[in-house]
């Protein structure tokens, strides 16, 4: 469905993102996780060609076998929406404050599909039902500021799926929502992806959210994939030291937290360096507590199994644990 090969995004002299391989099958949900500045949004937006003017993209991004890199703006405009839908972090900001939400959904409907004018309203209400917005006939006349956060995000999802895209890019779609709404939206996305066979690229910094929704996880650091694999393997038997650190910093469930009250929260020391500030070799060098001399050279790709690989010179040793116990640790809101 989506296949990325040798993708490189540069701005000026800095290579912001460099990804050798990433793919999503139809109906599959891939979670792209990383800190702020890791290049996850850039990666997601490069798929539909929405990057800053001065960004240079090379490599290959294919959607259903169709190459997306170096397409003209006009061709991209065709593909956006019809092949790929996008939902954004802040649903209030992603809706036009001067237009009624029904109209915004209706326009998305008519943009890529020939929907007769008289059917637009009915189809909009249908879409609202699919994203579990009750009382759609009434809601379509509201303005964005008259809706709740969860309702707005559902409207955005309705816009994103209006033209039946094969791939949905969800860029931190739950970050601006409170936890109960977050859970509902995650369930909705999961259901939509299963029902429609729609691939989902879910971008977040929150490993708990990613774990709740994804079949596969790709961990991005400094614009490079450090570990990829099925959710169980990446969370349950993570090998890369960065993934390990990410899992450790998650405070986990309330009962876990109460047990550790009074203790300091675990953090990853330092912060992501500015562009150009990365050391040679492994990008996590300088912040990694398990650094070796050889880390100054680029770490090789190690495949643990067909669906789990990582790049680390000094990976976490596998301790044999029942997977389920460890998996429960990363989530904060997934059950």
Partner 1 sequence: MTDQTRALEERPPDSVDLDLWESGSNTPSRRVPPQLVIGASITALFVGIGVLSIFWTPYDLDIVDVPNQFLRPGSEGHLLGTDKLGRDMTSQIMAGARNSLLVSVVSTVASLVPGVLIGLVAAGASPFWRSIIIRMTDIGVALPGILVALVLATSLGPGNTTAIIAIMFWFIPTAARVTMAPARQILSRDFVEAARAYGRSRKFILFRHVLPNIGPLIIVQASVMFAIAILIEAALSYLGIGAQRPTPSWGRLLKEAQPLIGQAPYLMVIPGVTIMLAVIGFNLLGDGLRTYLDPQQSAKGGGA
Do 97 and 178 form a contact (C-beta atoms < 8 A)? no
Pick the binder of partner 1 from 15, 172, 216, 227 (CB under 8 A): 172
**Between 54 and 317, whose beta carbon lies closer to partner 1?**
54
Pick the binder of partner 1 from 2, 24, 39, 192 (CB under 8 A): 39
93 binds partner 1 per the rule CB under 8 A: yes
13 binds partner 1 per the rule CB under 8 A: no
Gyration radius (Cα) of the chain, Å: 21
Question: Interface mask (CB under 8 A) for partner 1, residues 123-152, using x and -?
Answer: --------------------x-x-------
Do 218 and 33 form a contact (C-beta atoms < 8 A)? yes
- Percentage helix, strand, coil, to 5, in the chain? 35, 20, 40
In angstroms, give the least distance from the CB of 205 to partner 1. 9
In angstroms, give the least distance from the CB of 288 to partner 1. 21
**Between 34 and 229, whose beta carbon lies closer to partner 1?**
34
Pick the binder of partner 1 from 21, 23, 25, 92 (CB under 8 A): 92
Question: Which structure tokens are listed for 45?
Answer: 């937006």
- Report d(CA 184, CA 154) in Å as an integer: 10
- Report d(CA 305, CA 326) in Å as an integer: 19
268 binds partner 1 per the rule CB under 8 A: no
**Between 89 and 309, whose beta carbon lies closer to partner 1?**
89
| Alpha-carbon distances, residue 113 vs 68, 74, 119, 124 (angstroms) | 21, 17, 12, 13
192 binds partner 1 per the rule CB under 8 A: no
- Provide the pairing of β-strand 2-11 with 55-63: antiparallel
Q: Tokens 């991004």 correspond to what residue?
A: 61
Site residues, partner 1 (CB under 8 A): 11, 16, 36-42, 45, 48, 50-55, 73, 77-82, 84-86, 88-90, 92-99, 108, 111-112, 143, 145, 156, 159-160, 162-163, 169, 171-172
């Amino acid at each position: 469905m989506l296949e990325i090969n040798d993708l490189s995004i540069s701005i000026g002299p800095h290579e912001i993102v460099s990804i050798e391989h990433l793919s999503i099958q139809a109906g599959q949900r891939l979670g792209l996780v990383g800190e702020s500045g890791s290049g996850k949004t850039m990666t997601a937006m490069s798929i539909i060609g929405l990057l800053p003017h001065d960004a240079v993209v090379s490599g290959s991004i294919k959607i259903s076998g169709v190459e997306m890199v170096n397409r003209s703006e006009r061709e991209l405009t065709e593909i956006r929406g019809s092949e790929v839908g996008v939902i954004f972090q802040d649903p209030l900001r992603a809706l036009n404050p001067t237009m009624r939400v029904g109209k915004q959904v209706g326009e998305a409907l008519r943009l890529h599909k020939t929907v007769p004018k008289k059917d637009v309203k009915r189809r909009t209400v249908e879409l609202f039902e699919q994203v579990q917005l009750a009382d759609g006939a009434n809601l379509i006349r509201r303005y964005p500021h008259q809706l709740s956060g969860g309702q707005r995000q559902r409207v955005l999802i309705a816009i994103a799926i209006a033209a039946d895209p094969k791939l949905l890019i969800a860029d931190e779609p739950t970050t601006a929502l409170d936890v109960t709404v977050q859970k509902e939206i995650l369930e909705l996305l999961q259901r939509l992806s299963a029902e429609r066979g729609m691939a989902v690229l879910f971008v977040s910094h929150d490993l708990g959210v990613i774990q709740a929704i994804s079949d596969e996880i790709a961990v991005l650091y400094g614009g490079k994939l450090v570990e990829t694999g099925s959710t169980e393997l990446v969370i349950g038997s993570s090998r890369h030291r960065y993934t390990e650190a990410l899992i450790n910093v998650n405070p986990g469930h309330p009962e876990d937290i109460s047990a550790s009250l009074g203790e300091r929260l675990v953090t990853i020391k330092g912060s992501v360096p500015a562009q150009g500030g990365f050391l040679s070799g492994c990008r996590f060098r300088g912040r990694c507590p398990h650094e070796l001399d050889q880390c100054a050279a680029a770490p090789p790709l190690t495949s643990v199994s067909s669906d789990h690989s990582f790049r680390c010179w000094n990976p976490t040793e596998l301790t044999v644990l029942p997977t389920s116990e460890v998996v429960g640790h990363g989530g904060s809101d997934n059950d």
